[in-house]
């Protein structure tokens, strides 16, 4: 069938003249279906869309965002089939175009051509109809979206960014009021920096875990006086051979022993909520502080490794993490995570569980303190422990037992041999 080109003009828009074009929704080469929105106009009072009178291919677009138009102004040229009847907006066939990425589907609630949305009242949410429709389809309340367009208008990119932020976990929890949007410039000078990618990803995971898991944190304190004496002595010996013995390696070993004794801590809640998946392997994640943000490499099969080997591997993993050399595989498969802030200081803290793990052990800086022992005050090195656990999997009593066991093992590392 032969094709012909027809001009598409601004239809009757009532008394409005010199109206701003705020969106051009098609470009040359785009296939369009009847009633598909071509441009959006915005007057002082309302926004409206101009739909395609017929289906076809857009050839030339005569307007751009910011142009002012009135009734009769040319918008674009449409190539249509010559014999095709003039489309009835409600009943014309609406073939799905071959390029699925382009046109939006015709909407059953489409206003008649040139109908003013919201007129004569104020513009709702200050967004064009197409943007409001997109927001509706995505379940976004357009009133909650910060607009970056002229006069604070919400544009498509704002809705997309809002959804992206929600997907990344940055949105508010259901039912809670939105976080306050503060214009910091009002109070003084500010600077803005992009958030490193690792921090963005870690932040989304932390938020998801914090919201989804009922956390409880059990605190404890291990007397590591003997452990430190042993580590210093053995560490010196290993140093002669180019090795080392880190405190962290002891924490990994003690954690494995506790997981073996209390297997629920090595479990994951099945997504259907009716079963526990108990791991029979012992891969321990270790939180590493890097300039780009927190990462958690995993030591595999920690139960099979000795303290010297673990010390070496932990140092390697931390080095790779800081050099951004870790592969995704090296950060997967963990059973339990250790978060050590001992090199920095500070007291007990409440770490966030790294799902789908059941618990995480926070270790803080050991301090020499006077302890009443054997009838007298003695200087002892006390290590703060903070065990955060998923209360759906673990009861408080079990967590207390786990921490007490850790305290016993760390107080006398010979127990690791039992
Ligand atoms: N008590 C007292 N001293 C401690 C200690 C503790 N609990 N832990 C470490 N130290 C000492 C170490 O023994 C070391 O001294 P020596 O060289 O004399 O042995 C010194 O502090 C430096 O420790 P470090 O922290 O640099 O090294 P590490 O092996 O103990 O830890 C790592 C490695 C990767 C865990 C650490 O560098 C790190 O990144 N920690 C931060 C983790 C984090 O950000 N957690 C928070 C996440 S939110 O839950």
H-helix or E-strand spanning residue 399: helix 396-411
CB atoms within 10 A of CB 107: 16
What stretches in the chain show pLDDT beneath 70? 1-2, 44-46, 83-125, 166-174
**Beta strands at 68-69 and 47-51: parallel, antiparallel or unpaired:** unpaired
Contact 217, 386 (CB under 8 A): yes
Among 255, 340, 350, 367, name the best residue to mutate to test ligand 1's pocket (greatest count of ligand atoms within 8 A of Cβ): 340
For 43-171, strand residue ranges (E) read 47-51, 56-61, 68-69, 74-81
Q: Which atom of ligand 1 is nearest to the CA of 363?
A: 7
pLDDT by residue (tens digit) across 117-133? Answer: 233 333 335 778 788 88
Contact 363, 311 (CB under 8 A): no
Distance CA 240, CA 243 (A): 7
Which of 273, 355, 284, 345 minimizes the C-alpha distance to 313? 284
pLDDT score of 293: 87
pLDDT by residue (tens digit) across 374-394? Answer: 999 999 999 999 999 999 999
pLDDT score of 174: 64
Contact 210, 390 (CB under 8 A): no
Q: Look up residue 5 and give its two tokens.
A: 């080109």
Distance CA 20, CA 39 (A): 10
H-helix or E-strand spanning residue 88: none
pTM equals: 0.66
Q: Which atom of ligand 1 is nearest to the CA of 247?
A: 13
Distances (CA, A) of 166 to 41, 145, 309, 312, 352: 29, 11, 42, 40, 20
pLDDT score of 117: 29
Among 343, 360, 386, 406, name the best residue to mutate to test ligand 1's pocket (greatest count of ligand atoms within 8 A of Cβ): 343
Mean of the per-residue pLDDT values for the chain? 85
Task: Give per-residue burial for 111-123: e unless 16+ CB within 10 Å, then b.
Answer: eebbebbeeeeeb
Which of 222, 339, 364 minimizes the C-alpha distance to 284? 339
Distance CA 307, CA 305 (A): 7
H-helix or E-strand spanning residue 24: strand 19-24
Catalytic annotation present for 391: yes
Å from CA of 210 to ligand 1 middle: 24
Contact 322, 290 (CB under 8 A): yes
Q: Whose CA is nearest to atom 45 of ligand 1?
A: 339
Sign of torsion over alpha carbons 105, 106, 108, 109: positive
DSSP codes joined into one string, 335-361 = SEEEEE-TTT------PPP-TT-SEEE
**Ligand 1 pocket, residues with Cβ under 6 angstroms:** 246-248, 286-289, 294, 318, 339-343, 351, 362-363, 365-366, 383
């Amino acid at each position: 069938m032969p094709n012909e080109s027809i001009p598409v003009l601004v239809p009757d828009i009532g008394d409005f003249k010199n109206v701003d074009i705020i969106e051009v929704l098609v470009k040359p080469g785009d296939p369009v279906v009847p009633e598909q929105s071509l441009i959006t106009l915005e007057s002082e009072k309302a926004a409206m869309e101009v739909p395609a009178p017929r289906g076809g291919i857009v050839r030339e677009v005569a307007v751009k965002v910011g142009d002012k138009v009135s009734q009769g102004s040319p918008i674009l040229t449409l190539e249509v089939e010559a014999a095709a009847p003039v489309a009835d907006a409600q009943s014309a066939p609406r073939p799905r175009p071959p390029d699925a990425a382009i046109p939006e589907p015709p909407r059953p609630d489409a206003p008649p051509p040139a109908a003013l949305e919201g007129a004569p009242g104020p513009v709702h949410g200050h967004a064009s109809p197409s943007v409001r429709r997109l927001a509706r389809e995505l379940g976004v309340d357009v009133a909650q979206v910060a607009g970056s367009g002229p006069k604070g208008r919400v544009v498509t990119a704002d809705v997309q960014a809002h959804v992206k932020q929600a997907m990344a976990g940055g949105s508010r929890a259901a039912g809670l009021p939105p976080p306050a949007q503060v214009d910091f410039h009002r109070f003084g000078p500010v600077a803005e920096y992009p958030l490193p990618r690792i921090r963005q990803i870690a932040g989304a995971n932390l938020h998801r875990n914090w919201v989804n898991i009922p956390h409880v944190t059990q605190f404890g304190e291990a007397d590591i006086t003997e452990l430190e004496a042993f580590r210093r002595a053995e560490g010196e010996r290993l140093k002669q051979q180019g090795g080392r013995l880190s405190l962290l390696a002891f924490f990994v070993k003690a954690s494995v022993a506790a997981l073996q004794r209390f297997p629920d801590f090595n479990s994951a809640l099945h997504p259907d909520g009716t079963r526990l998946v108990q791991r029979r392997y012992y891969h321990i994640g270790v939180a590493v502080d890097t300039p780009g943000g927190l990462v958690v490499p995993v030591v595999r099969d920690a139960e099979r490794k000795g303290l010297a080997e673990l010390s070496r591997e932990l140092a390697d993993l931390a080095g790779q993490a800081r050099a951004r050399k870790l592969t995704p595989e090296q950060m997967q498969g963990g059973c339990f995570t250790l978060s050590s802030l001992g090199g920095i200081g500070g007291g007990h803290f409440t770490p966030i569980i790294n799902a789908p793990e059941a618990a995480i052990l926070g270790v803080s800086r050991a301090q020499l303190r006077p302890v009443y022992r054997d009838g007298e005050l003695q200087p002892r090195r006390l290590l703060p422990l903070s065990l955060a656990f998923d209360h759906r999997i673990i009861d408080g009593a079990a967590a207390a037992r786990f921490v007490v066991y850790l305290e016993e093992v760390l107080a006398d590392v010979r127990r690791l041999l039992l």
